[in-house]
Structure 1
Amino acid sequence: MLTAATFFDLSSFGHPQLFVDGAYVWTALNGLKRYMNDFPYTLPEDPLLPQGVPLAATVVLHGGRVLAADGLQIHYGDTTKGGLIVRDSGEILAGATVIMAGAVLLGREIEFGGGVLVESGAMIKAPAIIGEMSEVRQGAYLRGYCLAGRRCILGHATEVKHSIFLDDAKAGHFAYLGDSILGAGANLGAGTKFANLRFLTGNVTLRINGERIDTGRRKLGAILGDNTQTGCNSVTNPGTILGRNCVLMPNTTAPSGYHSEGTLISPKSYRRSG
Structure 2
Amino acid sequence: DSKNSLKSQLLDLVNSRHERNQKNHRRGITIDETKGPVVVEDSANIEESAHLIGPCYVGENAQIRHGAYIRENSWICSDAVVGHCSEIKHSILLPGAKAPHFNYVGDSILGKGVNLGAGVKLSNLRNDGTEVFLKIDGTRVPSGLRKFGAVLGENTQLGCNSVTNPGVILGTNSVVWPNTTVTGVHPEQSIHR
Tell me how far apart the structure 2 counterparts of residues 65 and 124 of structure 1 sit (CA, whole Å).
14
Q: Which residue of 1 aligns with 2:180?
A: 252
Q: Aligned partner of 1:203: which letter?
A: E
SS in 1 for 2:169: strand
Structure 2: gaps spanning 5 or more residues:
none
Q: Is the 8 A contact 1:98 1:118 kept in 2?
A: no
Q: Deviations over 1:77-136 (max 9, x none)?
A: xxxxxxxxxxxxxxxxxxxx683x311111161122241111100000111111111011
The Cα shift of 1:149 comes to: 1.3
The Cα shift of 1:251 comes to: 1.1
Q: Which residue of 1 aligns with 2:192?
A: 265
Asked if residue 156 in structure 1 is aligned to residue 88 in structure 2, the reply is no
Residue 36 (structure 1) aligned to one of 1, 7, 10: 10
> Residues 182 and 64 (structure 1 numbering): CA distance in 2 closer, same or farther, change over 3 Å?
closer
SS in 1 for 2:61: coil
Q: Aligned partner of 2:29: which letter?
A: A
SS in 2 for 1:38: helix
TM-score of the superposition, structure 2-length normalised?
0.89
Q: Deviations over 1:147-183 (max 9, x none)?
A: 0111000111000110011111010000001100000
Q: Which residue of 2 aligns with 1:77?
A: none
TM-score of the superposition, structure 1-length normalised?
0.64
Q: Which residue of 2 aligns with 1:168?
A: 96
Q: Aligned partner of 1:34: which letter?
A: S
Percent pairwise identity: 43
> Residues 229 and 218 (structure 1 numbering): CA distance in 2 closer, same or farther, change over 3 Å?
same
Q: Deviations over 1:163-205 (max 9, x none)?
A: 0111110100000011000000000001101111112343111
Structure with more helix by fraction: 2
> Residues 118 and 41 (structure 1 numbering): CA distance in 2 closer, same or farther, change over 3 Å?
farther
The Cα shift of 1:208 comes to: 1.1
Asked if residue 102 in structure 1 is aligned to residue 77 in structure 2, the reply is no
Q: Aligned partner of 1:106: which letter?
A: D
Structure 1: gaps spanning 5 or more residues:
1-19, 21-30, 45-62, 67-96, 267-274
Q: Deviations over 1:40-80 (max 9, x none)?
A: 34344xxxxxxxxxxxxxxxxxx8673xxxxxxxxxxxxxx
Q: Is the 8 A contact 2:38 2:56 kept in 1?
A: yes
Tell me how far apart the structure 1 counterparts of residues 167 and 117 of structure 2 sit (CA, whole Å).
19
Asked if residue 236 in structure 1 is aligned to residue 129 in structure 2, the reply is no
Q: Is the 8 A contact 2:119 2:162 kept in 1?
A: yes
Moved over 6 A (4+): none
